[in-house]
Structure 1
Amino acid sequence: MDVWWKKPLRIIQPNLQVRDTALIDPSRLAAQLEEMGANTVVFNVGGIYAWYPTEVPFHKQNEYLPADRDLLRDVIDACHKRGIRFIARFDFSKAEDAVYQQRPQWFVRDAAGEPQVLGAKRPGAWSLLMSTCTNGDYRRDGVAVPVIKEVLARYPIDGIFFNNPNFLPCFCDRCKRKYLNYYGEKLPENASEFQKDWATRCLKDNIDYLHQAIQREASQIPLILYYNLYKDNLDDRAATAEMLCTEPQDVLSLGHRHIPEFWKPALSIKLGRTLPDYPNPFGIVHSCPGMDWRHTGLPPAEYRFWLCQITANGGQIWHSLTGVPDTITDKRILEVVKEHNAMVQKVEPYMTGTEPDNQVALIWNAATSAEGWAEAFLEQQVPFDVLLPEQVEAGRLKHYQAAVIPEALAWNDAFTDAVKRYASEGGSLIVEGVPDREDVSDFLGIEPETYTSEPLIASYMRFEGAAHPLQRKLEQTELIPHRGKVTYCRPLPDTEVPITLVPPFSPLESVGAPPERASMAVRRTEIPLVMHARCARGRVVLLPFSFSQLIQEYKLGDHYQLVRNLIDYMAGGSLAVEVDHAPGVQVTVFRKTDGVLIHLVNGAGRRPLTANLVQRQLSVSIDKAWLNSTPVQATAVMTGESLSLKEEAQRWHITLPELGVWEAIWIRL
């Protein structure tokens, strides 16, 4: 069915402040949203506060609403007149203390039986907010369902979004009874001892119930739900919602030492796109550098970089702003939003109908071991997709020329069978860490018996042999840094060992004391750090140490280069799309029947970015065999500039004269 919410959307959400209600001019707001490039708005409707005259008991009405008109209806009508879709935002995670006093059974209790109170120390004449129980009636027939029914009956909304439908550990009597019913045991007194799926079960039960209520009242209304990069089951989320969103916040207020990783938007969207036949996920980007600084904006250069990763990885942009344009004091935010949406509009026709077309897959296990690989791929301009282990089991790995399995990923029987089949049919695997299964030893090219080292410091990786592909661009050094534990393996006779361990030459306290004694006691061993084994028609490279941890912790160029060399080696020498190495530039590749779209996002510089550093004369090349058609034209989508196509040997070459923060190259076939 061709429905509006399966078409490209550009959302702006004004995070409304109740005291600013009188400053909201519906017609002016709709005009401002249109001018900034939005075709959809997310607007407060109900939950903590009703932004309309509600008749549902215990649904607190915004006391600042105008008495002489229905503000919500006016906003909806003004938006619809300009072709802007209206998504109703509900938040049933909290309620005022007056509700708690009348229905205390609806609220979260800690292990001591006390409710969770928010805002007790907040200055000003505010009531307290209390957290509602995921299993309680406030989130079901007590308030949530009647509110949804009331809104659907009164207002022509286009969609529903549940803000913050989170699970909080609760020890109320209803939760105790439900836990006993599910698991046949008492609810533990410590939340860390809850069954692993308890939180997911509670949240899914609640969202299922609300989703069914929506469908009964208005089956054409889509529901939007959050997903999380680290802990959610995407299939569960998709089963109870028509669209998914994620919120990769750039929380600079955490301090520079805790600054969010640059890849957070890219990885979040890549994960959301793993669901087949599902609308592209939304990436919610808050304009502020943290909720404690929500009344100011991100540095514009940093903000642009963060936003551009959403669409360049196949997501849909969702701008979250503190207030309406007239109340926002940092007007730079509005300029960045308008500028970004204009770029999104330019690229939308080209992105419509495309699918990612990358040769490399990273199996996502929501751990630092996967993060290190992702960081190196992005830093080295390796276009890649993210796959979940269950998607590997379903056979989706066969579409990739090379795949990386990070350390600490659980190899169950189905996963093991799937990766063995993939390699035997010609795939190339890079395996980090030795799986805890004896039946994979032959497959990995090692003897079954292994030993784990102590944490090694002052150790090195040594390239063995001459002119090995893994040493490309590292030819002038035979050693690169190593640190951490190693699983000592004995390779099988046919297993190649291109990199070995140089053991520590000193304990840490004496590495330079005195320097005259810093020479190595052992310069070469036969202890493998990289092993290469053949597997029927495919290949397996095993790294029996935490390579990703080295990347994440030290961010050394030698480690990034070795990752690139591993990928090129396993992909047959070069990737289908190659971009000259440009630190800070991310590459994503999409394809459809009449062309290929290559996104380049530029995050060069020390973060948080204070300027978008222009990259000049970037060279892009495309493998002829992969393209499988003669290109007719190459165009820089953002600038509209026609780019020359040059044919050399087995590749087509394009030079991009200049890259600001984001460009997309359309190659028409």
Structure 2
Amino acid sequence: MAWWSKNNLRLVQNNLREIDANLNVDALIGQLKEFGANVLMMNAGGIVAFYPTKLEYHYRAANQQKDLLREAIDKAHANGMKVIVRFDFSKAHESIFAKKPEWFYRTKEGKEVNYHGIVHSCISSYYQQVYSLEIIDEVLTNYDVDGIFFNWFGYNTFDYSGNDYGICHCGSCKTKFQDMFGLDLPAKADVNDPVYNKHLIYREVTASQMLDRVHDLVKGKNKDIAISTYSDHKVDIIRNESNTGKDRPLPKWLYSASENVKSIEDSWDEKLISNCCINAVDLVHRFTAVSKYEINIRLKESLASGSGLDFCIIGVFEDYPDSENLPVVSSVFNYHKEHEQYYGNFQSLSEVGLIRPRITRQADSKEYLGIFKMLKEEHILFDVVQQKKLVDNIELLKRYKTIIIPDILAFTVEELEVLDAYSQQGGCLLSTGRSFTQGEENQLFMQRSFDAKLEEIKEYSRESSYLKTEDKQVFKSFMERDWILLDGSFCRVKFGSNAIKHLPLVNPSLFGPPERASGHSISQEYFGLGIVTTEQRKSIYLPWQPGRLYYKYGYDDNKRMILDLLDMFADSRSPICTNAPQSVEVFFDKVDEETYILHLLNLSGFNGLTYYEPIPIHNIQLNLLNLKNCKQLINLVDDEKISYTNDDDGVKLELPVLSDFAAIVLKV
């Protein structure tokens, strides 16, 4: 069994600077031991070699006086820690560029990008495709590493200051793109340009080829060396990041760690997810940390979602100028170390699957994120299924009573066949937005599954359009609200005779001045909901974007609409019933045949922009509907007694107060 397969990583990454080449390893190991860390990630090579490399085209850290890599590996191993070494081949020292300029990225005008002495390379070039393997081989041959990680893997057109230099036009890219498609490279990134869409394929293919080479080299050396990067192709540990950026648009995404973990954990059995909690507020401001309350949420969401722990700072702890978050990190790491036996092998209890779109050009990611947020707030347990993994996870889909498809324009023929088989076997499909509108095969699926035929996609912006909630038997949350706003994409579809139509479109009219705000009419042609219920299938189609509206604006109408439909037409039953408010994130999983684990995380300290200490929440009641005959309840966080009773419909328990985080093991 590979060492990482236990899924118990407590990883700390020291993202080293060149000036750290002679760092005090004993001090670093001592800090890691205080944290309870069991994995150290540190730089090995690429931009800068932190060991005495013998390769001509590998720049070694200036003024390095020792073999830092060997000392760190030896002392980490002596203290029971694994070591993952970090490479970054996206750039190289300008001295390498001076010798081998053909290895590097070029703008359309043929210019290189030299960022303060570090020059951008290209993944398609000889440097990354071939010479990088010589660097990796040198490290693997001479050092007893446990894993390798690649930073910034793939095609990147930006420098650290945010300047975009456009698609690479180096000789390798020109030749390989011409060989693959018989075309010249596109001039710029434009999703409406078919040549650029071919370039996206080219990028994916060449990046995969690179990972194929890395995989063959590493596993040929030692199959027990873990491979990790941000891609899922030929890697053992998929890495994501929970981070922030000053220029990132609002709203802030509260569920970053949960989504990062679930989107991998729920779709791959054979791969681990390690979600790196970045300490810094921004790439520019690496030496100031985000709030300790935000770090606390990220780490605990990662853990409760089924991952280990992963934390990163720039440089070393000794001279890092912001240590406020370190006690929080140490506390969570040591909690996991103490209770490790309950973590690493969660088994889902969800009956709802939410499909994560393959790439954003085929979907509106805000729709997916908005529905993710809805389900989290309402304590509906769900799994995230990657669109790209649908065909591989046919058996997995059978456990879901409902699959939600959030504004995914196109599926492959094979993916459509999987969804069709799921529907034919009685599963409920709930589709939103522009799903199944791109291409003939998808539109035929829309007609077959939802009895809906697309006429056009209308974009509403500054228009006073609405949907009418006229059937209060269905829309039980709208007894006193007859209209809800409509904004964004609306698919004008004609529903057939098999579809029950709801939410008629309220056509736009004047909205100003107030004296002219009238004249709306109810459409007899277009509707915001069609429901098909037959002996063979149950399908719900909302040709607008409730998730996107909820993500952007937070209007509760959009969430209540989805909840009403799930309650009325979907058979899925959440295994948890609770009075906990929306600001409590709930996780419930099976550990083994006799053990379940329940987590509650108090998110009430988040006000939409700032993270504060959470407000204690009292008397939280939970009914765990899938459990029978609980024999023992173990509170992992503190000594507070939690009362429970076994009832006919499950195990009922009450948490007197949730200050921050609860972790409760139930033995049956």
How many angstroms apart in 1 are the aligned matches of 2:50 and 2:447?
64
Match of 1:230 in 2: none
TM-superposition CA deviations, 1:91-111 (whole Å, max 9, x none): 121111111111111111111
Q: Which residue of 2 aligns with 1:123?
A: none
More displaced 10-residue stretch of structure 1: 578-587 or 361-370? 578-587
Q: Among residues 499, 502, 508, which one is paired with 2:506 in the alignment?
A: 502
The CA deviation at 1:292 is 1.2
1:452/1:488 contact within 8 Å kept: yes
C-alpha contact 1:377 1:563 (8 A) present in aligned 2: no
SS of 2:557's partner is: helix
Q: How much identity, in percent, do the aligned residues show?
A: 23
**Which residue identity lines up with residue 118 of structure 2 in the other structure?**
L
Shift in CA distance, 523/415, structure 1 to aligned 2, threshold 3 Å: same
Deviations 1:202-236 (A, max 9, x none): 22222222332223333332211213xxxxxx3xx
Secondary structure of the 1:292 match is coil
For 1:12, give the aligned amino acid.
V
For 1:124, the equivalent position in structure 2 comes to: none
CA deviation after TM superposition for structure 1 residue 546, in Å: 1.9
1:179-218 map, 5 Å: 179-190=177-188, 192=190, 193-194=195-196, 195=198, 196-218=200-222
- 2:285 maps to which of 287, 293, 297: 293
Report 1:563-602 matches (<5 A): 563-572=562-571, 574-591=573-590, 592-602=592-602
Tell me if the contact between 1:635 and 1:641 (Cα under 8 Å) persists in the aligned partners: no
Change (3 A) 1:49 1:391: closer
For structure 1, which segment, 278-287 or 424-433, has the greater mean C-alpha deviation from structure 2 after superposition?
A: 424-433
Q: Which residue of 616, 619, 622 maps to 1:620?
A: 622
CA RMSD of aligned residues (A): 2.6
1:156 paired to 2:144: yes
Return the offset for 1:648. 5.0
CA distance in 1, matches of 2:113, 2:410: 36
Q: Which amino acid aligns with 2:387?
A: P
Give how far 1:284 is off: 0.9
Aligned-partner Cα distance in 2 for 1:479–1:448: 25
Hey, what's the Cα distance between the residues in 2 that align with 1:425 and 1:556? 35
Q: Equivalent residue for 1:122?
A: none
Tell me which of 385, 388, 399 is aligned to 2:386: 388
Aligned to 1:370: 368
The residue correspondences of 1:188-587 to structure 2 (distance < 5 A) are 188-190=186-188, 192=190, 193-194=195-196, 195=198, 196-227=200-231, 234=232, 237=233, 240-251=234-245, 253-254=246-247, 257-258=249-250, 260-365=252-357, 366=359, 367-394=365-392, 395=394, 396-433=396-433, 435-436=436-437, 437=442, 439-440=444-445, 443-446=448-451, 448=453, 450=455, 452-453=457-458, 455=460, 457-466=463-472, 468-472=473-477, 474-493=478-497, 495-504=499-508, 506-510=509-513, 513-514=514-515, 518=517, 521-522=520-521, 527-572=526-571, 574-587=573-586
**Cα separation, partners in 2 of 1:609 and 1:465, compared to 1, 3 Å:** same
Aligned residues of 1:636 and 1:643 also touching (Cα < 8 A): yes
Tell me which of 610, 613, 619 is aligned to 2:612: 610
TM-score (norm 2): 0.88
1:83 partner SS: coil
Q: 1:29 to 1:539 in 2, by over 3 A?
A: same
Amino acid at match of 2:469: F
Shift of residue 286, structure 1, vs aligned partner: 0.8
Deviation of the 1:667 alpha carbon: 2.1
How far, CA to CA, are the matches of 1:59 and 1:391 in structure 2?
A: 38
**Alignment partner of 2:558: what SS?**
helix
1:637 corresponds to: 636
- Choose 9-18 or 276-285, whichever is displaced more: 276-285
CA change 1:509–1:393 in 2 (3 A) is: farther
Deviating more after overlay: 25-34 vs 2-11: 2-11
Give the TM-score normalised by the residue count of structure 1: 0.88
* Worse-matched range after superposition: 327-336 or 593-602: 593-602
State the distance in 1 between where 2:579 and 2:492 align: 37
CA 1:179–1:579: 2 relative to 1, 3 Å: same
The alpha carbon displacement at 1:27 in A equals: 1.6
Distance 1:141 1:525 in 2: 63
Structure 1 range deviating more: 638-647 or 38-47: 638-647
Gaps of 5+ in 2: 157-166, 360-364
Shift of 1:341: 0.9
Could you tell me how far apart the structure 1 residues matched to 2:481 and 2:188 are? Answer: 53
Kindly state the Cα deviation for residue 640 of structure 1 after the two structures are TM-superposed: 4.9
Q: Which amino acid aligns with 2:31?
A: Q
Q: Give the deviation of 1:494 after TM superposition.
A: 5.3
Distance 1:622 1:637 in 2: 18
Deviation at 1:85, TM superposition (A): 0.9
Q: Is the 1:402–1:570 Cα contact (8 Å) retained in structure 2?
A: no
Q: Please state whether the residue corresponding to 2:155 is helix, strand or coil.
A: coil
Structure 1 position 438, deviation (Å): 5.1
Q: Quote the offset at 1:352 in angstroms.
A: 3.3
Q: Give SS of 1:151's match.
A: helix
Q: Which runs of 5+ in 1 are unaligned?
A: 120-127, 228-233
Aligned position for 2:125: 136
Matched, 1:654 2:631: no
